């Protein structure tokens, strides 16, 4: 029968071991948080606050685990001390590895070695298959699933082959006369695992290792390793009563500091809660449960952890809400209600500007390049000669020095290019799929040209465009898929150029045709096509530079064909991209898709037309301005567009300082009833103001002087923050709230 003494003894035991376990994980988490913060460029104070918050969360989790662990130990052990439950002495006395019989020990070691060899072979085979699959998968979740599946598959394959590895072990046992000592065996196994990991990393890092979210398994492994070390040190070097009291007092002090930090952290330290919330691993379920517990109104924010919910009982008011200017309510908890700007610069643009010569019908060619970063183009001052041919051709073009994409990926940018609408304004088909299309009522650039009598043709570069997002070609009379190369996805530039020139030959005699040509050769995976000369280095960035130079040759060949086929006739050619690629430390794993930073969204934009000579234009521009500019040049009209024609700037008549807005808008979140506006940015003049929609964090950068956005100026330039905030709130009023009618 279980007595009270056993329960108390086991509760004390559970308390001690729970604290040791969670302390080990906290130390591993501390290292990971510091690394995360340094890589993200966070201030030391933010990193310190994040560490203290995690100390409180781990401590709270340990305290919550004490009673269940103690009761479980009492149930399993009864009156016996719980220490007997974890004693490992019986294993060392009976284990095969420590057996006194050399034959028993030799057979076990040989079979263990054979198992390691077969498992290593199965793992490499699984990773080789994964290397091929991962080319089409670039999200952390699916990468983790694939890596886990590869490991499980290797383990199961080894189990199914047990007769083979058993016989291999017998063969190895016959070759070894004297079995080595247990310590040698353990060291050899650890060395084999390390060697296999090093080989797999070296071979597969670019496509697999660099994308797998390693943080969670590394922190978990680090925590378990430290826990084992704590156990070892406790047995070899017992602390004694005074030592235990000192350790307990230190832990209580750190826990109290974490509790205080979590409770009173001001909003200016909002980056600390983001650092903790984005940490994958053991901290993830603890932080999510804790933050949900303190989120009384269930709007995703609380007054704890520096999240700054100024209305904890009102789900419509929180730091991530879209401000409604002039309604007397501070929706986004920034301390004030916004005001609508009456300036026309904060309103939708126009595409009916007068020009000389008078706009009239003429051929229009739109050339777009996937993942074409202005930051890696010599056209924009890059250190390497990646686009020497475009540098020459740009002498007769109007080139925008500060053009940016609407979103950070293909699926989030091209809909805005083709409709001149912000992502939140586009009429989409309700779907939980990321590649959902748009409604039949949504008019596109091709629709407008087609209705005006233009022959509309598009050249598809790969299966992704030809099949998965084929809805993007609505309005085109012909979609040419002859360039699609299934064997080398994204590397179809030669075929795209050939197909496009073939259509130029067919259409050259017409005054009205709209040809869209898209290249994907600079897109991930970054692999040089046969015969492409690399730049020195061998890193992904070096390979990408060579891909950019390859695209430069294809585009130059196409532009030369346009000039030859159309001769002295007036025509329009627009060159731009859907997004860029970033290789700086914050984008070390994913070079696009997840933010609106300058490094990801800075794109080239150039126009060859009767209206443009050799001119570099400083005004900020957006890819949603391409459609109104082309329509303006050929004298076409359509209902209101969000973008603004750039024709006045192209002709050098004015630079009105119009701001642009970028949206990281996830349409599938609408069907999931989640906040779709993940981030929003406003650019005006030299500055960009980023707001993380799900956290409310604001950051201000001088994107011209600091294109990698390393120095946050929001504290030193509050005047610029206020100006851009007012533009952002005004634009969002007609570009977001007018459609969704909500702030959450």
Give tens-digit pLDDT for 608-628. Answer: 999 987 889 999 999 999 999
Q: What local confidence, expressed as pLDDT, does residue 374 receive?
A: 94
> pLDDT-based confidence at 277, cuts 50/70/90?
confident
Which position has the higher pLDDT, 147 or 637? Answer: 637
The reported pLDDT for the residue numbered 573 is: 96
* pLDDT tier, 363 (very low <50, low <70, confident <90, very high otherwise): very high
Whether the CB-CB separation of 513 and 364 falls below 8 Å is answered with: yes
Q: Where are the domains of the chain?
A: 4-87+238-292, 93-233, 321-346+659-744, 358-423+444-658
Query: Would the CA dihedral through 359, 624, 600, 658 be positive or negative?
Result: positive
Residue 130, C-beta contacts closer than 8 angstroms, at least 6 positions apart: 146, 147, 150, 204, 208
Task: Report pLDDT for 104.
Answer: 63
**What is the chain's mean pLDDT, rounded?**
79
The span from the CA of 563 to the CA of 561, in Å, is: 5
**Which runs of consecutive H residues, i.e. helices, occur in 205-329?**
215-236, 240-264, 270-277, 283-294
Q: Highest mean pLDDT: which of 417-431, 540-554, 580-594?
A: 540-554
Among residues of the chain, what percentage have pLDDT more than 70? 72
The interaxial angle of helices 270-277 and 283-294, nearest 10 deg, is 130
pLDDT greater than 90 at residue 744: no
Say if CB 606 and CB 374 are below 8 A apart. no
Give residue 90's pLDDT. 37
pLDDT higher for 417 or 258?
A: 417
Percent of the chain whose pLDDT exceeds 90: 27
Provide the H-helix boundaries in 82-139: 89-94, 102-133
Decide which of 1.10.238.10, 3.40.50.1450, 3.80.10.10, 3.30.1120.10 is the CATH code for 321-346+659-744: 3.30.1120.10
Side by side, the strands of the sheet bearing 687-692 are 660-665, 677-684, 687-692, 698-702
pLDDT class of 489 with cuts at 50, 70, 90: low
Which of 270-279, 298-307, 471-480, 649-658 is modeled with the greatest confidence? 471-480
pTM: 0.72
Which comes out higher in pLDDT, residue 115 or 60? Answer: 60
Name which of 301-305, 587-591, 647-651, 684-688 the model is least confident about: 587-591
Q: Note the pLDDT of residue 504.
A: 95
Separation between Cα atoms, residue 464 and residue 241, nearest integer Å: 66
Cα-Cα-Cα-Cα torsion 551, 557, 558, 563, nearest 10 degrees, comes to 140
Q: CA-CA distance, 331 to 742, in Å (whole number)? A: 11
What pLDDT is attached to residue 472? 85
Q: Is the pLDDT of residue 134 over 60?
A: no
Q: Nearest CA to 284 among 215, 189, 210? A: 215
Q: Which residues have C-beta within 8 Å of that of residue 97, sequence separation ≥ 6? A: 105, 108, 109, 182, 185
Q: Which CATH architecture has domain 358-423+444-658?
A: 3-Layer(aba) Sandwich (3.40)
Mean pLDDT computed over 191-217:
63
Mean pLDDT of 249-259: 84
**650-690 pLDDT tens trace:** 998 777 788 999 998 888 777 777 778 888 999 999 999 99
Q: Which of helix, strand or coil describes residue 480?
A: strand
Distance set, CA 712 to CA 263, 605, 703 (Å) = 26, 27, 11
Summarize the confidence of residues 61-84 as an average pLDDT.
61
Q: How far apart are CA 715 and CA 725, in angstroms?
A: 14
Q: What is the average pLDDT across 367-396?
A: 94
Average pLDDT over residues 283-287: 81
Helix (H), strand (E) at residue 602? strand 602-603
Q: Which residues of 548-579 are buried (b: 16+ CB within 10 A; e: fewer)?
A: bbbbbbbbbbbbebbeebbeeebbbbbbbbbb
pLDDT at 169 over 70: no
């Amino acid at each position: 029968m279980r007595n009270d003494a056993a329960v108390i003894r086991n509760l004390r035991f559970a308390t001690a071991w729970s604290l040791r376990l969670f302390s080990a994980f906290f130390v591993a988490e501390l290292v990971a948080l510091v690394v995360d913060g340094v890589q993200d460029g966070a201030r030391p104070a933010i990193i310190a606050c994040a560490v203290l918050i995690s100390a409180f969360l781990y401590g709270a989790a340990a305290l919550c685990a004490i009673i269940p662990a103690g009761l479980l130990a009492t149930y399993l052990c009864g009156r016996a001390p719980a220490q007997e439950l974890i004693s490992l002495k019986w294993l060392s006395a009976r284990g095969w590895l420590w057996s006194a019989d050399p034959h028993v020990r030799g057979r076990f070691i040989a079979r263990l070695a054979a198992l390691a060899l077969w498992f290593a072979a199965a793992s490499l085979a699984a990773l080789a298959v994964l290397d091929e699959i991962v080319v089409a998968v670039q999200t952390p979740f699916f990468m983790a699933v694939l890596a886990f599946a590869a490991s499980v598959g290797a383990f199961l394959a080894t189990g199914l082959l047990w007769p083979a590895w058993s016989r291999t072990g017998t063969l190895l046992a016959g070759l070894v006369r004297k079995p080595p000592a247990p310590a040698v065996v353990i060291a050899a196994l650890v060395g084999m695992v390390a060697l296999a990991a090093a080989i797999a990393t070296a071979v597969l890092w670019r496509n697999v290792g660099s994308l797998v979210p390693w943080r969670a398994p590394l922190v978990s492994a680090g925590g378990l390793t430290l826990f084992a070390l704590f156990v070892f040190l406790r047995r070899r070097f017992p602390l004694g009563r005074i030592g235990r009291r000192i350790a307990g007092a230190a832990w209580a002090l750190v826990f109290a500091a974490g509790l205080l930090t979590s409770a009173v952290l001001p909003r200016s330290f909002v980056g600390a809660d983001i650092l903790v919330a984005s940490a994958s691993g053991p901290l993830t379920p603890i932080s999510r449960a804790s933050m949900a517990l303190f989120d009384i109104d269930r709007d995703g924010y609380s007054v704890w952890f520096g999240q700054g919910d100024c209305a904890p009982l009102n789900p419509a008011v929180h730091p991530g809400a879209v401000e409604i200017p002039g309604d007397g309510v501070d929706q986004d908890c920034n301390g004030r209600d916004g005001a609508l700007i009456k300036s026309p610069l904060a309103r939708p643009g126009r595409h009916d500007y007068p020009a000389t010569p008078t706009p009239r019908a003429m051929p229009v060619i739109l050339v777009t390049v996937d993942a074409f970063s202005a930051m890696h183009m010599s056209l924009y001052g890059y250190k390497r000669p990646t686009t020497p041919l475009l540098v020459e051709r740009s002498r007769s073009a109007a080139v925008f020095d500060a053009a940016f994409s609407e979103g950070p990926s293909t699926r989030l940018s091209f809909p805005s290019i083709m409709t001149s609408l912000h992502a939140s304004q586009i009429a989409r088909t309700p779907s939980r799929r990321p590649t959902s299309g748009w409604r039949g009522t949504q008019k596109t650039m091709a629709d407008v040209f087609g209705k005006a009598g233009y022959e509309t043709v598009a050249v598809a570069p790969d299966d992704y465009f030809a099949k998965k997002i084929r809805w993007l070609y609505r309005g085109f009379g012909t979609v040419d898929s002859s360039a699609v190369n299934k064997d080398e996805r994204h590397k179809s530039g030669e075929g795209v150029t050939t197909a496009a020139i073939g259509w130029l030959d067919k259409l050259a005699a017409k005054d009205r045709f709209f040809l869209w040509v898209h290249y994907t050769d600079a897109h991930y995976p970054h692999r040089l096509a046969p015969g492409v000369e690399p730049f020195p280095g061998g890193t992904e960035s070096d390979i990408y530079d060579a891909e950019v130079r390859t695209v430069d040759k294809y585009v130059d060949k196409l532009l030369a064909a346009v000039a030859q086929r159309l001769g002295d006739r007036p025509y329009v050619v627009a060159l731009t991209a859907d997004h860029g690629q970033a290789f700086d430390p914050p984008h070390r794993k994913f070079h696009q898709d997840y933010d609106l930073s300058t490094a990801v969204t800075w794109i080239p934009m150039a126009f060859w037309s009767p209206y443009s000579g050799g001119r570099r234009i400083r005004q900020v521009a957006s890819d949603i301005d391409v459609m109104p500019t082309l329509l303006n040049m050929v004298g076409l009209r359509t209902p209101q567009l969000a973008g603004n024609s750039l024709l006045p700037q192209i002709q050098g008549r004015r630079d009105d300082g119009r701001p642009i807005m970028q949206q990281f808008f996830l349409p599938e979140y609408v069907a999931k009833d989640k906040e779709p506006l993940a981030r929003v940015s406003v650019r005006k003049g030299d500055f960009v103001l980023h707001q993380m929609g799900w956290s409310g964090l604001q950051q201000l950068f001088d994107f011209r002087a600091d294109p990698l956005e390393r120095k946050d100026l929001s504290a030193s330039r509050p005047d610029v923050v206020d100006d851009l905030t007012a533009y952002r709130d005004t634009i969002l009023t007609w570009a977001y709230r007018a459609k969704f009618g909500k702030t959450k």
